[in-house]
Structure 1
Amino acid sequence: MERIQVSKEWMQKYEEIKSLMTSPVNYAQCFGMKEIQGKEIFVLDMGEVTFPSGEILVRDPLVWLNRNEKPYLQSVPIGKFKVNTLVAKIEEDHYRYVLSRVKFTEEIPVIYYEALKGDENLDSFEEDSIFGFPVDAGLATIVDVETKNAYCDFVDNWYKKNSGKNIYDDFFLQLFLKKMQWKIHFIREREEIG
């Protein structure tokens, strides 16, 4: 598979600090709440995601989903799974995505560990540190490595046929608006997206 070759030293350090990388928040409970920190919240059904290999990654698809990106160390079950996103109403007509989940099972998770690739610098890790993933375009996607590779092929071919165009403005935006018609108030205006 495409995973990073993890050094023995990295794994040893990871095992030493793994217990510090647990979340104090039970994210599953958040999806049952009506409000968080005084903000009304909604759960959006985002459809399903397919994981043909179980090797996954989460990235900003317009900037950081490229052939060189490696999956997380932890694999997931192979198959199709529901995806939900928690949205907070910040103020009238102003919404923010708070978190998303892939529902692998109906069981309630008892612990959450941070997803890692195996190349993170663990030497300076502190209890409140997080690694996360970079976001430049304000988007995030959860994909299997097979889907990532197919997406990269699609992007390469699209730009060959659409020289001088922008894949977000000239392709994805129209798809988003069409697919999300009933959720349109959760999509920010183009000038806010940047």
Structure 2
Amino acid sequence: MHPTAEWLKNWEAKRELTLAPNDLEKYFTDKEIGEVEIDQINLGEISLPSGKIFVNDPLGEYLAMDKDPYFIETPKGNFPVSASIVKFEDDGDVENLIGCVKIAFTNEKPVRYEEAMKGIELIEELQEGEYFGFAIESGLTTIVDSEAKESFVKFIDEFESKGNDVNLYDDYFNDLFVANAKNNPKYQSEEGDWLNWTIPGTEFKTPIFQAGFGEGVYPAYFGYNEKGEVVSFYIQFIDAELEDSDDDDEWL
């Protein structure tokens, strides 16, 4: 559904409030943000045949129920996906968490990052320091093109129709995550933290990955160049610039 003229008018009036509070590209160029150590890994490619994208929880009915892609469209094609790993220390134990994920459409550094919107948000109610974001319940996130989403949802429906005892993660994705962790062990737990999945019966590549600290609501952003063109897309799970690393909530 395309945003109404009234919604777009309100969005233009509130647009400055949708800017990211951080320079998100630092997650992919630096090895430290503040006093937080970070690194980067490659997650393979994503297929974007239509340029209309969804970000959602890949498990349960969440993806199937999501009918509205972001109204800003991306370039079409296959593009590299990378993740910034934040080294989070808790009581002496160090965890390697996915702090930010990026799709690069060009090699340009954005001059502006604006929150990705569907055009159905209550934009007139947005206040400084707030974002709308997307909700994650399983701890996993996926980015999927509108055209590929149909095949994704069809696969889920067919797999789960095999019986009431069937569990999509335990009976299907778990083995794929474990295998990927063995093949790409850097910064991954034995159970696996990310997967570049080709939807069965298609050539569509769709990344699935752990969402920062897990369950929560997270923002996504488009990166724009000086001409106002979309050059990248980001999901920010952890704000590494915040100094209080003792309180997980402060990092979201």
Query: In structure 2, what is the equivalent of residue 183 of structure 1?
Result: 185
Where 2:83 maps in the other structure, the secondary structure is: strand
Where 2:9 maps in the other structure, the secondary structure is: helix
- 5+ long unaligned stretches in structure 2: 193-212, 216-252
1:93–1:185 CA contact under 8 A, matched in 2: no
Q: Which amino acid aligns with 1:59?
A: N
- 5+ long unaligned stretches in structure 1: none
Q: Cα offset for 1:67? A: 4.9
TM, length-normalised to structure 1? 0.89
Where 1:131 maps in the other structure, the secondary structure is: coil
Q: Which amino acid aligns with 1:152?
A: V
Query: In structure 2, what is the equivalent of residue 71 of structure 1?
Result: 69
Query: In structure 2, what is the equivalent of residue 90 of structure 1?
Result: 88
Number of equivalent positions: 190
CA RMSD of aligned residues (A): 2.2
1:67–1:148 CA contact under 8 A, matched in 2: no
Matched, 1:111 2:112: yes
**Range with bigger deviation, 16-25 or 99-108:** 16-25
- Runs of 4+ aligned structure 1 residues displaced above 3 Å come to 187-190
1:177–1:184 CA contact under 8 A, matched in 2: no
Query: In structure 1, what is the equivalent of residue 161 of structure 2?
Result: 160
Judging changes above 3 Å, is the alpha-carbon distance between structure 1 residues 82 and 168 closer, same or farther for their aligned structure 2 residues? Answer: same
Out of 46, 57, 61, the position equivalent to 2:58 is: 61
Q: Cα offset for 1:69? A: 2.8
Equivalent pairs: percent with the same residue?
34
Q: Which amino acid aligns with 1:81?
A: F
Q: Which amino acid aligns with 1:76?
A: T
Query: In structure 2, what is the equivalent of residue 142 of structure 1?
Result: 143
**TM alignment of 1:11-90, pairs within 5 A:** 11-63=8-60, 64-90=62-88
Q: Which amino acid aligns with 2:189?
A: I
2:40–2:82 CA contact under 8 A, matched in 1: yes
Q: Which amino acid aligns with 1:187?
A: S
2:178–2:191 CA contact under 8 A, matched in 1: no
State how far apart, in whole Å, the 2-side matches of 1:145 and 1:188 are. Answer: 31
